[in-house]
Structure 1
Amino acid sequence: MRIAPSMACLIVATILASVAGAAEQTPRTNVILIMADDIGYECFGCYGSRQYSTPNIDAMAAEGMRFTHCYSQPLCTPSRVKLMTGLSNARNYSAFSVLNKSQKTIGDYFGDAGFRTAVAGKWQLYGAEHYKPRFRGKGTLPGDAGFENFCLWQVDRLGERHKAPLLQIDGKNRQFDKSHYGPEVACDYLIDFMKRSKDEPFLVYYPMILVHNPFVPTPDSQSANKKQKQRNFEDMVAYMDKLVGRIVTTTEELGIAERTLILFVGDNGTNKKITSQLNGREIQGGKGLMTDAGTRVALVALQPGTVPAGRVCEDLVDFSDMLPTTLQAAGAPVPDGLDGRSFWPQLQGQTGTPREWIYCYYCSRPERTKPSRFVRDQRWKLYGDGRFYDVANDVLEKSPLQQVEAGSAAAVAKQKLAAALQSMPSEGQSLLQFDR
């Protein structure tokens, strides 16, 4: 039977309209990116710790995916700048506490893609009142970084972060009394945002206030003794985990868990004043150091029905990878020119295109310090000054390999890493350059 041209056109139009309608009805994936402050991989039960209580993050790992080789920058602002822009510090980091105004961030990208956006916790990217005048106000405000809703500590003012916090909420500073706990206020804010936005696609960026020093008792601590730094830190880890659990539970209660990707990560290694036990080994916090103690962090992903349960991934993950990964997960355009590589395929149980190496350029105070840099894979690590380590067997980096046998695994790795190091910028920038 022949179909008249007009009827054929009508059928095609009907099919296309049906497909388009189905696409419009398919909910877009929400993204919740949670980043704890100053905590290395050694402080989580799912990574082998028996010292710390992290049942909610452990449950995320059991029901989702845990990564064993995620690497941050050694310090907070460098990590945040890298995570939010998908670029190496060598390209866009110019001063501590500053996110250059020229940078396009995760908030901008998600906002452009039609997502509601919120951030709560710690900002420290504008150059607050307590920094030297040459850095003060030279960074970026949250509203100018693509976030329409925000509840943040240390935007333009300092103040307390724990009990009786000073927080900037949607552009206005608010001083809370002693009955309020800053980390709880930030979490409450995000939960309220999620409830209001449950029928729309959203991005929640949660750079947590915990577990950064000062190490003080939490509302759940049995002792109010501020001098028990180790005990208080352990309590802060437990409270941090509790807040993460509240976020996860909220997605379940709102019926949006299956269309919400949750990533949990730490921003750098643990404070040097903290000592932890892991698998019979004592680990001193390495914040600020280029070793594993300063750069190796936990990364756990959860999205029921999408992220395979109980999976452990040994692929390399760099902080610049967070932006392209979350954008791809949300079905938003991924810009060209990023240093990051998406691991969204791995989160779906696929092979993806794993990294062969990561590059870390670190210069915490460009106006007065010299940069350090390294390239590494899961086992081998090559510094810009030529030091070469078998980190898997020398995690403290005490014995650089002076000579490697031609054709050996070490020699092959060193050649690969040397080429990678050569491919990346060796010099960064300083905010003071822009003021001349």
Structure 2
Amino acid sequence: MTSAALFAQLLYTTQLKAESSDRPNVILILTDDIGYECFGCYGSQQYQTPNIDRMAARGMRFTHCYSQPLCTPSRVKMMTGLSNARNYSAFSILNRDQRTFGHLLQETGYRTMIAGKWQLYGANNYPQRFRAKGMAPSDAGFDQWCLWQVDQLGERYDAPLLNINGETRQFSAKQYGPDIAVEQILKFIDQKSDQPYFVYYPMILVHNPFVPTPDSKLRDTKRKQKNFEEMVAYMDIQVGKIVDHVQQTGQAENTLILFTGDNGTNTKIRSQLNDQVIQGGKGKMTDAGTRVPLVGYWPGVIPPDTTCADLIDFSDFLPTLADFAGATTPAKIDGRSFQPQLLGKPGTPRDWIYCYYNPRPEKTKPVRFARDQRWKLHGDGRFIDVENDVLEKHPLTDLSATPDAAAAHAKLTAALNSQPAEGVALLKFPLGPNNQAK
């Protein structure tokens, strides 16, 4: 090898090492069953979320992030970068042929860990036809895990039943499931390694049952609304523990933290936001069912105290994480990276997002919509000016009466027509009466 070739090789090797060392640790936090209306940084004065609000003040807050209306559909979409129309087959199931962001980061040299809620394997509380039909955490790209509801259900809060690295453990009544998950995350972060790490934290909180937290002064399970508010506060404390630990261990300048939610708030919860009362929209295709918080935090990298109004779809998380990790993004996905926006650059924002929703495809029919920041076209033809009708009670019928409505309707009609109207990934269930799965 000539001296010039040797120098070039050394330079290339040095660049590779530099690129590897520049790859950030990544922590993705997904809270359960809480919409945008329940956070101080989105205008709420009803809920206490100081840690998440602080992340937003020191990082970037997105105002138009949209999930699926329910937990499993959102997780499948987020983890694979694909619309539910392409790979969603059953509630509580992640098909075994899928590639997740865990796989991508693991194969790129990341240590990977997941803690919190799984619900993607088909636990023993579901009908026999669903059990063990999905993906186990060990097969989804995760080296370590601490999870509720893998193959068994059990309690999630007091006296939880958790699966830790393949061992099912029953904890005592004095132990709180969300606390155990955070403890395992902090232990993982502290493990010595030259590799960057990826922590995916699909939280157990704040899903019902609405029960007292360790910080609650009253142990009354009947005060649902108040217990929910206290659960939100405790959820925020848990997020703060992780953010503070990263800071205290000197990792903050090389750690990207993303915080979002999997769907809207439980329908039994009512929240005051500015001059409106928003009833939780979980399971519904309304703004209250699909609009969720998204905060990006990385000191010295993400511009502080910034707001981004670009559309973010849940399929966008996989390519975004892949870009930060230096992984190769799969060619055929629906997601679009928002890494540039997090770095303060224009990026290539979406003109619209598409939501296909059919949580129980063995017995229900799909619904869908396409939308942008203001306008929303449902598959049944309802056309909503969400900016002026956030509760979606007054579909527009005369497009000429509102400026820009006709152009928006044409754009979103084309968007709907460009996407699948029927799902293609169904489990093969034997049919019973009325063509429903047995």
Tell me whether the two structures share a fold, i.e. TM-score over 0.5. Answer: yes
For residue 42 of structure 1, what is the amino acid of its counterpart?
A: E
- State the alpha-carbon separation in 2 of the partners of residues 280 and 184 from structure 1: 35
SS in 2 for 1:389: strand
Q: Is 2:251 the counterpart of 1:251?
A: no
Q: Tell me, yes or no, if the aligned pair for 1:366 and 1:430 is still in contact at 8 Å.
A: no
* Among 147, 157, 160, the residue aligned to 2:155: 160
Q: Is 2:404 the counterpart of 1:409?
A: yes
Q: Is 2:290 the counterpart of 1:298?
A: no
Q: Tell me, yes or no, if the aligned pair for 2:362 and 2:429 is still in contact at 8 Å.
A: no
Superposition map of 1:369-380 within 5 A? 369-380=364-375
Match of 2:327 in 1: 332
How much has 1:403 moved relative to structure 2? Answer: 2.5
Match of 1:149 in 2: 144
SS in 2 for 1:304: coil
How much has 1:400 moved relative to structure 2? Answer: 1.2
How much has 1:392 moved relative to structure 2? Answer: 0.7
Q: Is 2:214 the counterpart of 1:231?
A: no
* Among 268, 277, 284, the residue aligned to 2:272: 277
Of 402-411 and 170-179, deviating more is 402-411
Match of 1:78 in 2: 73
- State the alpha-carbon separation in 2 of the partners of residues 253 and 287 from structure 1: 36
SS in 2 for 1:312: strand
- State the alpha-carbon separation in 1 of the partners of residues 58 and 368 from structure 2: 36
How much has 1:172 moved relative to structure 2? Answer: 1.0
1:376-435 alpha-carbon deviations (Å, 9 max, x no partner): 000011111211111111111111111312995111111111111111100004644366
For residue 156 of structure 1, what is the amino acid of its counterpart?
A: D
Q: Tell me, yes or no, if the aligned pair for 2:34 and 2:206 is still in contact at 8 Å.
A: yes
Of 420-429 and 58-67, deviating more is 420-429
1:4-35 alpha-carbon deviations (Å, 9 max, x no partner): xx9xx525633651453254143321111100
Match of 2:435 in 1: none
* Among 167, 188, 200, the residue aligned to 1:172: 167
Structure 1 stretches lacking a partner, 5+ long: 1-5
* Among 28, 47, 55, the residue aligned to 2:50: 55
* Among 3, 10, 13, the residue aligned to 1:10: 3
Q: Is 2:17 the counterpart of 1:24?
A: yes
Q: Is 2:336 the counterpart of 1:348?
A: no
Q: Tell me, yes or no, if the aligned pair for 2:87 and 2:425 is still in contact at 8 Å.
A: no
Q: Is 2:108 the counterpart of 1:95?
A: no
* Among 331, 352, 355, the residue aligned to 1:360: 355
Provide the identity percentage.
62
- State the alpha-carbon separation in 2 of the partners of residues 433 and 356 from structure 1: 36
Q: TM-score scaled by structure 1?
A: 0.95
Q: CA RMSD in A?
A: 1.6
Q: TM-score scaled by structure 2?
A: 0.95
Match of 2:436 in 1: none
Match of 1:316 in 2: 311
- State the alpha-carbon separation in 2 of the partners of residues 326 and 123 from structure 1: 20
- State the alpha-carbon separation in 2 of the partners of residues 272 and 406 from structure 1: 33
SS in 1 for 2:307: strand
1:301-327 alpha-carbon deviations (Å, 9 max, x no partner): 001111100000000000000000111
Q: Tell me, yes or no, if the aligned pair for 1:366 and 1:429 is still in contact at 8 Å.
A: no
Q: Tell me, yes or no, if the aligned pair for 1:118 and 1:149 is still in contact at 8 Å.
A: yes
For residue 277 of structure 2, what is the amino acid of its counterpart?
A: E
1:228-286 alpha-carbon deviations (Å, 9 max, x no partner): 11111111101111111111112112222111111000100000111111112111101
- State the alpha-carbon separation in 2 of the partners of residues 125 and 273 from structure 1: 25
